[in-house]
Amino acid sequence: MSLLSDLVNLNLSDSTKQIIAEYIWIGGSGMDIRSKARTLPGPVSDPSKLPKWNYDGSSTGQASGDNSEVILYPQAIFRDPFRRGDNILVMCDAYTPAGDPIPTNKRHKAAKIFSHPNVAKEVPWYGIEQEYTLMQKGVNWPIGWPIGGFPGPQGPYYCGVGAGKAIGRDIVDAHYKACLYAGIGISGVNGEVMPGQWEFQVGPVEGISSGDQVWVARYLLERITEISGVNVSFDPKPVPGDWNGAGAHCNYSTKTMRNDGGLAVIKKAIEKLQVKHKEHIAAYGEGNERRLTGKHETADINTFSWGVANRGASVRVGRDTEKEGKGYFEDRRPASNMDPYVVTSMIAETTILG
């Protein structure tokens, strides 16, 4: 095994200028992350300089067998924390050979919204709080839980310390450092209310880059749990009953919200979100009705509400924002399995272009 480990950690720069680029894309379910690697002649830092590639879309639920070729367009580059050196991770989106975005390509529409002049001048910032649950391999049950049984009730686990409270911290810390190495704007991590559940935050990040970074952060988490022999679940309610669900709260601000008088702009934006509550809920993740029950720090899925420092509301405004009269707000409705391209661009579209 030591020889295998040595080969895995081999520093290619000692013997070649060639690098390995891992192309990453989103599969047909909208949550399955796919990737494959290719050799390039040398280091690349600009995604526009990378070659397009293709894959078999009939094997990912994105094309028919008689016309299976789907084209990958490189969109963002990150450092590779697994291969290191000049090797890279490449976030891509997917197109037909004719150059049309395939139906599951949500990035294309999001990029169009973020490139709209009225949106671009507002410099929208996002902070995504991505919750997830670490699950026992081969068993759909959180790590640290007895099979078919339950741990003690919620209370000591949120930001907890100790073997019986912080379950899976080695995975969490490895992911944190991998994100920092990759160049992702990860701003923190913490243990969540349900044991075996954790959260990482990405942001503040501007526009389309928020979606790119959250997807690559998810990719890194999938890879690290793969190595660790556990599964990661983004299900919004992985355990029924009196246990917290998993969300992906979206903190959001625009230039005018961050400037003096911004609180009034925030309130107008929240009013616009209220008008389109149903449309947003429909786009905020699958199975969210199991999570948004009005309990466990959520608002009821059918009712829009907002408040200052209220974690039981659809939208929360922080105390600091209220005090300073400017800042940001938090949309607490998105589920943990939401598509960050969809959620971030939809919030911008509703609040700026609506």
Does domain 4-104 fall under CATH 3.30.70.1140? My reply is: no
Left (φ > 0), alpha (ψ -120 to 50) or beta: where does 200 sit?
beta
Return the structure tokens found at 124. Answer: 């929208």
Residues 22-69: tens digit of each pLDDT: 999 999 999 999 999 999 999 999 999 999 999 999 999 999 999 999
117-353 is classed in which CATH architecture? Answer: 2-Layer Sandwich (3.30)
Mean pLDDT over 228-233 rounds to 97
Confidence class of residue 92 from pLDDT cuts 50, 70 and 90? very high
Residues 337 and 233: their CA atoms lie apart, in Å, by 9
Mean pLDDT over 139-168 rounds to 95
> pTM, whole model, 2 decimals?
0.97
Confidence class of residue 1 from pLDDT cuts 50, 70 and 90? low
For the chain, domain boundaries: 4-104, 117-353
How many CB atoms sit inside 10 A of residue 119's CB? 20
How many CB atoms sit inside 10 A of residue 111's CB? 18
